[in-house]
Each structure stands twice: as C-alpha cells, then as structure tokens.
Structure 1
Amino acid sequence: MSHPMQVELLNEYGDQALRVTIGRSAALLDVPDLDALIEQLALLRARMRPEVSKEVSHRHRYVVEVDPCWYTEKHPLFEGAVVFFRHTGFNWAGFAVPKESLIRLIDALTMHVEASLETNGMPN
C-alpha cells in the first residue's frame, strides 16, 4: 500500500513552515528544523549505495544557483583550500580541495574566462 508524500509551504508572508504529510501522519517543520533535516539527509545520503555519480549527467535537470555567494580559506590540515558555495535551498556547502586539484580547477575556470573574452571581446 502506497502512502504518497505531500509537502506544502505554510504562511508565505509570516513565520514560514513546511507541512510534510505521509499517509495520515504529518509533521510541521520551521526553517531551523528544515535546515537540520536537509543536513541530516545529506549525511545519510553520503553513506548510501549506490554512491552519487562522480560524473555530471547532461540529461539530469540539476538545481543551479546563479551567481552564488562564495568564500574560501586555507585548509588547516593540508596544502589546498576550503571552498564554500551558498545555495539558497541547500545552505552553504564546503569542499576541501587539495592543491593539485585546485590548480586543475583554476586552469578549467581560466579557460572559461578566456573563451568568454574571445566571444564577447575585452571589457572597457
């Protein structure tokens, strides 16, 4: 017997919450509860198999944040950096990037910038 899940946003203009209903059971989640649930789900998903693919699928419709806030700092335990990106739905996500991978990332991003300059011309 299937119990479809329903999720609805309550009170769009005041203190907001989500009501999650599965079958005859319901839970009301405020913003801190929802943030904690998303974080716990991400931690549990990281332990599940099959693991998240190491390749980007060009058929999947990813949630993409346009011009996200970001922050970097030196990693305290190895040569590299910690890079944080803010997503309005998923919160901040941090990535510890070793120096070798950081260099490859910088090179890849530089290629995108250079290609953009070739297409759009040099800015004034």
Structure 2
Amino acid sequence: MAEARVGIRVADDRQSVTIEIGPSSEQSEPIALNLDQLTQIIKLLGQARALMVEDEQKRPLDGKTVETVIDPPWYIQVAQIDGSLLAFDHPSYGPLAFALPRADVIRIVDILSKHLAYAQTQQEKPS
C-alpha cells in the first residue's frame, strides 16, 4: 500500500473544512466539506474502524491515556437491553451512545458513589 498524505484545514469562519488525501508522491484535489458532511465521514470512518477491530479481544482501559472531554452534554435513559443507555456529545466525534448492561450500571453507580463519599470526607476534614 502506498504511503498517503493527509491534510485537513478548517476555514477561518469555521463553517467548512478542506480535506486532501492522496499518495505522498502525487498532487491530489482538496475536497471542501460542511459540518454535516464532515460528521458523516467521521461516522463512516468509525464504522470502518469497528469492522477492522471486531474480531480483536476487548482490552481494559485501565492505565491507558484517553481523550478527555470536560463537562460534555449527556443523557441517560432505560436501554432496549436490561440496563441503561448513556449518551454524550463529543466535540470531536459528535453524539455517542453506549448501552450498558444492568451489571455494569450497578458497578458504575457503586464506583461513583464511593468517589462522591470520598470527596465529601476530604472536604469535611479540618485543615
């Protein structure tokens, strides 16, 4: 597979991006995309990535560096499965939702409750 060159430039008005993808050795034509078109490409690339890793074993995230978003818009509802649907609006990827089985919800609630209790005891300690 030939080595590719990828370039992305956001317009000054932030209303569009120009993407250029092509072999490193050749000139390529830039393509202008609006926000909806860019979001669709991100979605399609995500689906392609999911196919590439679908047979790989899920690995724990403990100790890994992950992109962190502070205070994203979020939403929770009962899921179609026995559990909950948790959705976030990620600035890089758009809305993402996770259907979490009941056992995971219980574990998450337990961990977050312990975090809240720990934070409360730290605030109550005299200086």
Give the Cα separation in 2 of the matches to 1:3 and 1:100.
44
Displacement of 1:59: 5.2
Residue 39, structure 1, aligned to residue 43, structure 2: yes
Q: TM-score, normalised by structure 2?
A: 0.79
User: What is the RMSD of the two structures over their aligned residues, measured on CA atoms?
Assistant: 2.2
Which residue of structure 2 lines up, in the alignment, with residue 7 of structure 1?
Answer: 8
CA–CA separation in structure 1 for the residues paired with 2:32 and 2:84: 38
CA distance in 1, matches of 2:33, 2:56: 28
Identity of aligned residues (%): 22
Q: How does 1:59-78 map to 2 (within 5 A)?
A: 60=65, 62-76=66-80, 78=81
Q: State how many pairs are aligned.
A: 118
Is 1:21 paired with 2:24?
A: no
Distance in 2, Cα, partners of 1:52 & 1:65: 26
Q: Give 2:120's aligned amino acid.
A: L
The answer for the alignment partner of 1:109 in structure 2 is: 112
CA deviations on 1:8-48 (whole Å, 9 max, x unpaired) are 101326xx111111242221111000110111111111111
Q: Where in structure 1 are there 5+ consecutive unaligned residues?
A: none
Cα pair distance change 1:75/1:53, threshold 3 Å: closer
Q: Distance in 2 between matches of 1:51 and 1:87?
A: 25
* Structure 2, gaps ≥5 residues long: 23-27
| Alpha carbons of structure 1 residues 108 and 71: separation in structure 2 relative to 1, 3 Å | same
Q: Deviations over 1:77-104 (max 9, x none)?
A: x321111111122111111111111101
Aligned position for 2:63: 58
Amino acid at match of 2:113: T
**TM-score, length-scaled by structure 1:** 0.81
